[in-house]
Structures are given as C-alpha cells and as structure tokens.
A = this chain, B = another copy of it.
Amino acid sequence: MRETDFVSGFARGLKVIEAFGEAQPRLSIADAAKITGLDRATVRRSLLTLSQLGYADYDGKFFTLTPKTLRLGHAYLSATPLPTIVQPYLDQLAEKAGQSASASVLDGTEIVYVARASQRRVMSINLTPGSRLPAYCASMGRVLLAALPEAEAREILGRSELKANTPLTRTDPEELLTELRRVRDEGYAIIDQELELGLCSIAVPVANDRGQVLAALNIGASAAHVPAREMAERFLPLLRETQAALRLVFR
C-alpha cells in the first residue's frame, strides 16, 4: 500500500467516533483530543463533519453520537452471514438450556459478541452484539484462543492486560496456555467466576466441515443456580448438538 492510498482524515475520524463510549457519552473538542491523542483542530473538524452528516449532535459545547452511527456497525452485522445464521440456533439453545446463549468472534485481545439470545440476566453488564470482553478470562475467548497456533495465542496473551477481575481469575500466561491446551484437547472451555463473581459459562467452537473455527458459542449461568462443576454435565450435550447442526450449515 502506498502512503498516498491512506486517507488520514478518514482514519482520524474513525478514531474520534471510537473515543465515545460508556465512560464518555458526551465529548467536548478538548475531551476528544485528549482521548484520541489527536490535535484539537483535527478533532474539531472530525466532530463538525460527524455533526454535519447527522452522525453526531452538537449543543455548542458537547458532541453526542446519534442513532445514525448504528448504521456503521450494522453494515458489518448485516453484511456478515454469521450472526443471521447463528441467531435461530442460539434462540433454541437458550430456550432448551433456560439460560442465555451467545456467539462471538476474536478481535485482537478481545471477543466481540455477534449474536445473543437472552434468557435471565446473570451479569451486571449489558451484552449486545458489538459488546466486547477480554478474551483471556471469557469462556468463548479461551475457545477462540485455543483454536490459534500456540505462538499466536501466546503473543495475544502477551499483549493482553491480564487483570484479576475476581480472586478466581487466572492471570499467569503459562497457566493460561496450559488451560488452552486442555480446551483444545477436550473441545470446550469453562469459566468459573473469572470475569465476574457469580457468573459461570461454558463455550465450544463453531467450525465448518473443514475444521476451521469461525466463532465460539456459549451458555452463561448464575453460579448460584448452576455451579461450575455441573456446567459440562448440564450444558455440554446441548452445545455439542448446536455445534453439530452448525457444522452442517457452514459446509
């Protein structure tokens, strides 16, 4: 790629969009400059362009994103057959399990939810397509990392901020790599309250019939209702059933 093929104004603008988030729903030009590390003049032009195009509202001081921004993420979701194909299988899986079921893919050190069938609320955080969680401490993340060549998984763990979210979170890279090997051998991952106290989950890979892993799917449950040691017994047969059905779809 030649340098002249790179549209810096576009790249910087996307960075400005990503500066908005839960912790900063309203941004002044100074706020956005601080978060993105871009200079104020650049940030100002990006924000005014977003506002001119209807992607942002501006009250003279603060900018907020508008629902039009959803078109950008939705361009991916509707362009990708995966979420649409997986959704009815997740709905059935969630109904049979009586628990929430989700599908996700890996993006860097994080997993991104692409589809979700919600039953009861077990987590304090609100997960929707597009939500992200660190891969190292999520059951789907472990399944997706286990599907990579070990050197690549090691490299991703090296770039991850391995934080003890709870006293149960595994944060030692070597211990995590050992666990990934177990996940690869046994074909599933279980998380016992490593992300949040009270939450257990079990995940399996979704592969096509050439064995390429396309995504992960999981069932999450409250540790009070289903202790980690019962997760495999209760939910693995259902997950395996869905996994087999999807393998036939992704021929």
Question: What is the interface of chain A, defined by CB distance below 8 A to chain B?
Answer: 1, 4-14, 17-22, 24-26, 44-46, 48-50, 52-53, 55, 64-81, 83-84, 87-88, 91, 105, 107, 112, 114-115, 117-118, 120-121, 126, 128-132
Partner of A72, one of B10, B73, B80: B73
Complex Cα gap A107–B57 (Å): 13
Q: A22-B78, A64-B80 are in contact. List 19 more A-B contacts (CB 8 A).
A: A5-B44, A7-B12, A7-B46, A10-B10, A10-B49, A17-B72, A17-B75, A18-B72, A22-B79, A25-B80, A25-B81, A65-B80, A67-B105, A67-B112, A70-B73, A70-B76, A71-B73, A118-B118, A128-B129
Partner of A75, one of B18, B26, B80, B126: B18
Complex Cα gap A9–B11 (Å): 9
Partner of A49, one of B11, B45, B84: B11
Given A76-B65, A80-B65, A130-B70, also A55-B14 (CB < 8 A): yes
Partner of A73, one of B4, B69, B81: B69
Partner of A67, one of B45, B50, B107: B107
Question: Which B residues touch A72, using CB under 8 A?
Answer: 14, 17-18, 69, 72-73
Question: Which B residues touch A17, using CB under 8 A?
Answer: 72, 75
Partner of A52, one of B6, B19, B24: B6
A-side interface mostly: helix
Complex Cα gap A76–B19 (Å): 10
* CB of A52, distance to nearest CB on chain B (Å): 6
Question: By the criterion CB–CB under 8 Å, are B14 and A88 in contact?
Answer: no
Complex Cα gap A114–B74 (Å): 12
Question: Which B residues touch A66, using CB under 8 A?
Answer: 76, 107
Complex Cα gap A6–B9 (Å): 10
Partner of A91, one of B22, B77, B118, B129: B118
Question: By the criterion CB–CB under 8 Å, are A128 and B77 in contact?
Answer: yes
Question: By the criterion CB–CB under 8 Å, are B114 and A45 in contact?
Answer: no
